[in-house]
Chains A and B, each alone.
Chain A
Amino acid sequence: MYYNTYMKKHKQLIWDGIFTLVTLLFLFAVNLFIEIVFDTRTLIPMIFVLGVFLVSLKTQGYFWGITASLLSVLAVNYAFTFPYYAFDLISPECIFSAVVMLIVAVMTGTLTTQLKAQEKIKSESEMERMRANLLRAVSHDLRTPLTSIYGSTSAVIENYDTLSKEQNLKLLGDVQKDSQWLIHMVENLLSVTRIDSNKVKVNKTPVVLEELIDSVLVKFKKRCPEQAVIVEIPEQFISIPMDPILIEQVLLNLLENAVFHAKDMTELMLKVDTHESFAVFSVLDNGCGIHPDVKDRLFSGYISRSDTPTDGSRNNMGIGLSVCSTIVNAHGGTIHGENREEGGAIFYFKLKMEDKNE
C-alpha cells in the first residue's frame, strides 16, 4: 500500500516535470517564431507569464510553478533581451521581471491549491451524506425485526407452559425468519465496510463468470426456493477481476428485490452478455416495474417504508440498492435501473473483463 502511494507520488512528480518542460519549450518556440515573423518582442514576456500560469494551474504544489517562472526569466534574459544569447542577470529589468513571474506563480499556486482542497471537502461531505442516509435507513429498518424477536421470545419464555406446542413453534418460527432477515441486512452493511472508503477501491481477483453465477444461484435458491430463475450466460470461459463476495451480493440483492417488489412477476431472468471488453450483468423481471415516484432516488438509500406498497412484506430495497450502487461504483462502473418496454424492470451494470492475452 505504501509502495503504491509512493509510486503514485513519484509518477505525478515525473508527469508534472515533463508537463512543465514541454510547456516552456513550446512557448519558447512560439516566441522565436513570433520574433522572426512579426519582428517584435513586446509579446514575449506576456507569453511566458501565460506559461507560468498554465504550469502552476496544472501541476501539484508550488514547486513546478516557481521553477517555470525562474526558467522563463532565464529564457527571456538569455534569448530575447540585450545582450542576445548571453545571460545578464544583474540588470534591474531582469530582477523586476523575475519578481513579477514569481508572484504570478505563487498566487496561481495558492488559488489552485485552495480549489483542490475545496473539491476534496465537497466529495468528503458527499460521502458523509451517503453514510448518514444509509445509517438512517438502517436503524429504521432494524427496529422492526428486533421488536418482533424480543416480543416473541419473551412471550415464549414467560408463557412456556400455557402456550400450546403449535403456538410456541409459530412464535419461534417468526423469530427465525426475522433473524434471517437481519442476517441479510447485516451482510449488506458488512459489504459496504469492505470497501475502503478513502480510496473507494476493492480487492480484485480474477473470477470465473460461471462459478460466480453458480454461487449466486445456489445462495438464491436457499433464500427463495420457490422462485425459478432463467439464466443466460455466454458459453466461453470468461474471467473478470472483481471482489467476488461483493458482486455476488449485488446480484443477490437485485434478484431478491425482484422477488419482493416486482408484483405479478412470472419470469425472473439473470443475464450476462459480453460487449467489447465488458461483461454486462442484467437482472430482468416482468412484474409491475419501477414506480415513477421512486425512480429518481432508487439508489440513494432514501426510499422509506411509506413509499412502498404496504402489503405487510418487509423490504430493504432502499438499503439493498444503495449498497449495490456503492459496490458497483467501487468497481469502476455504474448501476442503472429502468422500466422495460414490454413491462417489468431491468437493472444492469458492466464490469471490465480480463485481458484475453494475459
Chain B
Amino acid sequence: MSNKYKILVIEDENNIRNFIETVLSANDYQTLSASTCEQGLLMYASHIPDLVMLDLGLPDRDGIEFIQNIRQTDTTPIIVLSARTGEKDKIEALDLGANDYITKPFGTGELLARVRATLRNNRPGSGSGSLPGEKFTLYDLTIDYDRRIVYMKDEEIKLTQTEYNILALLSYHTGKVMTYASIIKEIWGCSDDGSIKKLQVNMANIRKKLGSKPGDNQYIINELGVGYRMNEENL
C-alpha cells in the first residue's frame, strides 16, 4: 500500500475534485485533496506528494503562485488543469515549471494518460538527456542518441543539426508539451522576433522528412498556439 504514487489534487470545484479522485484511486493511486492554494501548500509540505494536479483558478490565490512557490525548492511534477480560453495562462504555467496541462473538459482516459506520462518522465535520471547507448523508439521512428542518427524503419533520415536537436529535445521530454519559448531557448539559446518562425519552418521540414501528413501525425503533436509534444504510444 505504501508504495503507491501519492497525488495531490488542488481544485476548488467539489464535483470535479470528486471525479478526479475517484478515477485516480480506482486506478491505484493514493489521492490527497485541497480546495484552496493555502491548503494545497500545507498539504504539500506535510505529505510531499509525487505529483500535483493544480487548477489555476483558485479562490484565495492564483495557481501560478503555487507553481512559483514549489519550484523554488522542488521539482515535483505539476499538471495544470486549465480552462479552454487561456493559452496565455497555459504558456505562463509551463514556462514557470509546470510539467503539463489538461484542458477542461477532459475525459478519464486523457487524465490517466497524462498522469502516467508525467510520472514516467520524472523518474530520476529521465528527462535531462540521454544515457550512453540509449535509443528512443516510437512506432517506426528510432533515434540513436550516441551517433546522432534518426531512422525510419531502419532507413536513415537526413536531418540538419538544428532539426536533429529539436527532435532529440522533444524525445527527451516525450509526452510533455514544450512551449515555443522553451524549445527556442534550448536550441538557439537566445530568442528574437524571427525565432518562432525559424522553429516553425524547421518543424515543417521535420514533419516532411518523417512523412507526417495533416491529420496523420503520429510522432509530433501540435499544440496550437502553445508548442509541440512528442507523442507516446498508447496515449
* A residues with CB within 8 A of B: 183, 187, 190, 193-194, 205-208, 210-218, 220-221, 229, 231, 233, 237, 239, 244-245, 248
Contact = CB atoms under 8 A, between A and B. Distances in A.
A214 B217 contact: yes
Contacts of B200: 206, 208, 211, 237, 239
Contacts of B215: 213-214, 216-218, 220-221, 229, 231
A215 B215 CA distance: 7
Given A211-B222, A231-B215, A245-B224, 17 more contacts: A183-B105, A205-B225, A207-B224, A208-B204, A210-B214, A211-B200, A211-B203, A214-B215, A214-B217, A216-B215, A217-B214, A220-B215, A231-B213, A237-B201, A239-B200, A245-B84, A245-B87
Contacts of A210: 204, 207, 214
Interface residues of B, number: 20
23 contacts: A190-B84, A193-B85, A194-B85, A207-B225, A210-B214, A211-B203, A211-B222, A212-B224, A213-B214, A213-B215, A214-B214, A215-B224, A217-B214, A217-B215, A217-B216, A220-B215, A221-B215, A231-B213, A231-B215, A237-B200, A237-B201, A239-B197, A244-B225
Chain B's interface: helix, strand, loop or mixed, by majority? mixed
A211 B85 contact: no
Contacts of B196: 206
Nearest to A243: B225
A220 B216 CA distance: 12
A229 to B, nearest CB: 7
Contacts of A220: 215
A210 B214 CA distance: 6
B224 A237 contact: no
A325 B85 CA distance: 19
Interface string B172-189: 000000000000000000
Contacts of A237: 200-201, 204
A311 B126 CA distance: 54
Q: Which 7 A-B pairs have the closest CB atoms?
A: A217-B215, A214-B214, A213-B214, A244-B224, A211-B222, A208-B200, A215-B224
B162 to A, nearest CB: 15
B92 to A, nearest CB: 15
Interface string B193-235: 0001100110110010000011111000110110000000000
B110 to A, nearest CB: 10
Contacts of A212: 224
Nearest to A193: B85
A220 B214 CA distance: 12
Contacts of A206: 196-197, 200
A211 B196 CA distance: 14
Contacts of A245: 84, 87, 224-225
Contacts of A213: 214-215
A248 to B, nearest CB: 7
- Among A208, A213, A233, the most chain B Cβ lie within 10 Å of the Cβ of A208
A338 to B, nearest CB: 25
A203 B127 CA distance: 34
Nearest to B204: A237
Nearest to B87: A245
Nearest to A190: B85
A229 B221 CA distance: 19
B3 to A, nearest CB: 33
A348 B105 CA distance: 30
A218 B85 CA distance: 19
A75 B221 CA distance: 70
Contact of B224 (A187, A194, A211): A211
Nearest to A218: B215
Contacts of A221: 215
Nearest to A247: B224
A218 B225 contact: no
B181 to A, nearest CB: 13
A233 B215 CA distance: 12
Interface in B105-153: 105
A205 B227 CA distance: 13
B136 to A, nearest CB: 22
A98 B215 CA distance: 72
B214 A231 contact: yes
A281 B200 CA distance: 21
Nearest to B205: A237
